[in-house]
Chain A
Amino acid sequence: MSVAGSIKDENTGPQPEALVRVDGLKMHFPVTEGLFMQRVVGLVKAVDGVSFTVGVGETLGLVGESGCGKTTVGRCILRLENPTAGDVIFDGNDVADMNMKEMIGLRQDVQVIFQDPFSSLNPRMKIGTIISEPLRVHGIIKDPQKRQERVAELLHICGLNPRFADRYPHEMSGGQRQRVGIARALSVNPKFIVCDEAVSALDVSIQAQIINLLEDLQAQFNFSYLFIAHDLSVVRHLCHRVAVMYLGKIVELADCDELFDNPQHPYTKALLSAVPVPDPAIEEARSHQVLEGEVPSPIDPPSGCVFHPRCPQATEACRRDIPTLQEFTPGHTLACPVVLGQQR
């Protein structure tokens, strides 16, 4: 298996068939109390009924403020967490039901790029070992000599000098380390990569380099990305479709341009309004929609629509009825009956 072998075709745009289908995903963490007899006193509903699909060669952005459950969704897809309920179907197989053997296969198909390039690389291992370890344990390349060649190739693809293989992580800069993280993720020829805030720990100039690298790699190898981020401008640049999360739920999902140009959900509007415009005159003139209050605790979320306590358009019904994602226009769904005009 080589890099060249994994190129599927030249068409890099979104394709109809879904590679990953997440359906009704719930991840509730128990909150326990007590010294010896630990009893569950509550549930942190980090992810509460999330559904979306990611097509082959597509990039889905997952945005939302800190603590809204974006990362947990990514970790459930990777099965670094065992979801409480719901399905994660990858390539036709349910990730949650996989046994050890199938999991090893999944680890080759689904990879992850973590947020912090400083802590996500083992400080005691040389770069070459870090990148070649998956190749060795999965038995992808058994010959050590060939493994070294592959490591050099991966480093080259990610824009690093192959000599870096003999270095330790602490001898490299943040951008270089993140490239190592990407090379490591690529080593097993995955089909799907979860980018968990992959650029948020980097300087803006380095961010641009890494984003371009991710784009180039997608064009070359036709990966699908789940791009988890809170930086909306990065998401707009990189993603084909974007899902907006609030308190464990997706509130709006649309094509990237549609979402940014025509946001419908009050939360999405507020989120986009918070992005500064790099022109002082426009920034001064435009109206900001500032949300009041704090994000409620996911242990005790509000009734009905979880956004209603902060929503400028909330009605009595919002306190009562839990909204579901419904189609606004083709390809644009949102969970707000008020906007959809279904109330009163």
Chain B
Amino acid sequence: MYKYTIKRILLMIPTLIGAGVLIFVLMRLIPGDICEIRLGGTGLAVDKDQIEICRENLGLNDSMPKQFFDFAVGVATLNFGDSMWTGRPVTEEIAVRFELTLQIAIMGTLAAVIIALPFGVISAIKQNTWIDYCIRLFSIAGIATPSFWLGIMVILGLLIATQHLFGEPWMMPITFTSIFADPVANLSQTIWPAVTIGYRYAAVVVRMTRSAMLEVLREDYVRTARAKGLFEKVIVNQHALKNALLPVITLIGIEFAFLIGGLVVTEQVFNLNGLGKLFVDAVLQHDFTLTQSMVMMVVAVFVLVNLLVDLLYAWVDPRIHYS
């Protein structure tokens, strides 16, 4: 098990190198660079010399191999350098936003699991009844609804509802406060985006739980459990659900990793200063150092979450052994 974990962590290295080469090349294939954007953005005539100085300062005039070598050494020594746009250290830029994004990802996952597991199980047990139809409608709607639209509806709904109830509209706070500093202010801001992404997330997980449960409930060992004279509750919770969890865990893992760095539109709608927004800004501004570092981080998160999921498999399913 330990050996396996170490092997998997070592396997991260080629994955990271591959992703690094890819993002390095892709970023440089986009026409224009950060200096042109920064100096040209003012709309005034641009001094060629100034652009040259800017490029020289940021190291953009170095040869490609040297630039890649610097990037690789930076990643290897965990010294990611400074953001080309703001000049602040990349780690600092990410750290400021990481707490918010991680919190929303965790809250969204929690909401999804709390809603999805019971719904999926009930839907499977009551297959083809009106309860099943309602849950399936709920989940299809969740998959079909774009999160940004749902986000806008949540905001609008909040404004209208508070207007009706209290006489004046209430808007969630825009600035982020740590949950440890002020839980109320923190939650009143983060709960809405978490619910918004949690709905779509839950919808996907409901469908997976339902289909996995339907399959397992037809297994012979569930019939064996019935013949033993167990209560239906025990059969469903202990015999069936445990066996149905494997694909559900996989899905939750993938979705969770996606939420770190993939929450671009929802963050825009809720005006959150998260990693998704930072990512998009970095790409738009041709901020090579920041973009590359963020890609490395997201890849690492994906690989680690997948490793965690695989380790969970072994815990959930005794047939799986890692050695």
Q: Which residues from chain A sit less than 8 Å from chain B, CB to CB?
A: 38, 78, 80, 103-104, 106-108, 111-112, 114, 116, 119-126, 133-134, 137-138, 168, 170, 181, 184, 188
Closest to B133 in A: A36
Q: By CB atoms of chain B within 10 A, which of A103, A108, A134 has the most?
A: A134
Contacts of B225 in A (CB 8 A): 122, 133
Q: Does B318 contact A (CB under 8 A)?
A: yes
Q: In the complex, are the beta carbons of A137 and B234 less than 8 A apart?
A: yes
A36 to chain B, nearest CB (A): 8
A122:B224 contact, CB within 8 angstroms? yes
Q: Please give me the residue from chain A that is nearest to B243 by CB atom.
A: A124
- Given A137-B234, A168-B319, answer yes or no on A123-B221 (Cβ-Cβ < 8 Å): yes
> In the complex, are the beta carbons of B223 and A80 less than 8 A apart?
yes
Give the chain A neighbours of B316 by CB distance below 8 A: 124
The verdict on B49 contacting chain A, using a C-beta distance below 8 Å, is: no
Instruction: Collect the chain B residues with CB atoms within 8 Å of residue A181's CB.
Output: 224
Q: A114 contacts which chain B residues (CB < 8 A)?
A: 220, 223-224
Q: Write the B293-319 contact mask toward A (1 if CB under 8 angstroms, else 0).
A: 000000000000000000000001111
- For B, the interface residue count at a CB cutoff of 8 angstroms equals 21
Bound Cα distance A181, B225 (Å)? 12
Which residues of B are in contact with A by a Cβ distance under 8 Å? 128, 219-221, 223-231, 234, 239, 242-243, 316-319
* From A137, A138, A168, contact of B318 by CB (8 A): A168
**Do B230 and A133 touch (CB < 8 A)?**
yes
B317 CB contacts on chain A under 8 angstroms: 123-124
| A–B complex contacts, Cβ < 8 Å, 18 sampled | A80-B226, A103-B229, A107-B229, A112-B224, A112-B227, A114-B223, A119-B219, A119-B220, A120-B223, A121-B224, A122-B225, A122-B239, A123-B243, A123-B318, A124-B316, A124-B317, A168-B318, A170-B319
Please report the C-alpha to C-alpha distance between residue A123 and residue B318 in the assembled complex, in whole angstroms: 8
> Across the two chains, which residue of chain A brings its CB closest to B223?
A80
- B318 near A108 with CB under 8 A, answer no
Q: Which residues of B sit under 8 angstroms from A168, Cβ to Cβ?
A: 318-319
Question: A116: which B residues are within 8 A, CB to CB?
Answer: 220
Among A38, A112, A137, A184, the residue within 8 A (CB) of B230 is A137
Distance in angstroms from A113 CB to nearest chain B CB is: 9
- A-B pairs with the 10 shortest C-beta distances? A107-B229, A119-B220, A120-B220, A122-B221, A134-B228, A168-B318, A112-B227, A120-B224, A170-B319, A124-B242
Q: Max chain B CB contacts within 10 Å: which of A111, A137, A138? A: A137
Instruction: Name the residue among B221, B226, B231 with the largest chain A CB count within 10 angstroms.
Output: B221
Pick from B219, B223, B227, B318 the residue with the most CB of A within 10 Å. B227
Of B220, B226, B229, B234, the contact of A104 (CB 8 Å cutoff): B229
List the B side residues contacting A80 at CB < 8 Å: 223, 226-227
> By the criterion CB–CB under 8 Å, are B243 and A107 in contact?
no
For B318, the closest partner residue in chain A by CB is A168
Most buried by A among B223, B224, B230: B224
Task: Write out the residue numbers on chain B whose beta carbons fall within 8 Å of the beta carbon of A126.
Answer: 318
Given the known inter-chain contacts A122-B224, A124-B243, please indicate yes or no for A138 contacting B219, CB distance below 8 A. Answer: no
A107 and B221 contacting across the interface, CB-CB below 8 Å: no
Chain A residues with CB under 8 Å of B220's CB are 114, 116, 119-120
Complex: how many Å from CA A122 to CA B220?
8
Q: Which residues of A contact B221 (CB under 8 A)?
A: 119-123
Cβ distance B234 to chain A, nearest Cβ, rounded Å = 7
Q: Tell me the bound Cα distance from A126 to B318 in angstroms.
A: 9
A108 to B228, CA, bound (A): 8
Residue of A nearest to B234 (CB): A137
- CA separation between A119 and B243, bound complex, in Å? 12
Q: A119-B219, A119-B221, A137-B234 are in contact. Are A124 and B228 (CB under 8 A)?
A: no
Q: How far is the CA of A112 from the CA of B227 in the complex (A)?
A: 7
Q: Which residues of B contact A125 (CB under 8 A)?
A: 239
A78 cross-chain contacts in B, Cβ below 8 A: 227
Task: Kindly provide the distance from the CB of B195 to the nearest chain A CB, expressed in whole angstroms.
Answer: 31
A80 to B225, CA, bound (A): 11
Q: Are B243 and A122 in contact (CB under 8 A)?
A: yes
* Chain B residue at minimal CB-CB distance from A135: B228
Most buried by B among A104, A120, A184: A120
Contacts of B230 in A (CB 8 A): 133, 137
Q: Which residues of B have CB within 8 Å of A184? A: 224, 228
Contact of A123 with B224 at beta-carbon distance under 8 Å, contacts A134-B229, A137-B229, A138-B229 already known: no
CB pair A107 B228 closer than 8 Å:
yes
B-side contacts of A137, CB under 8 Å: 228-231, 234
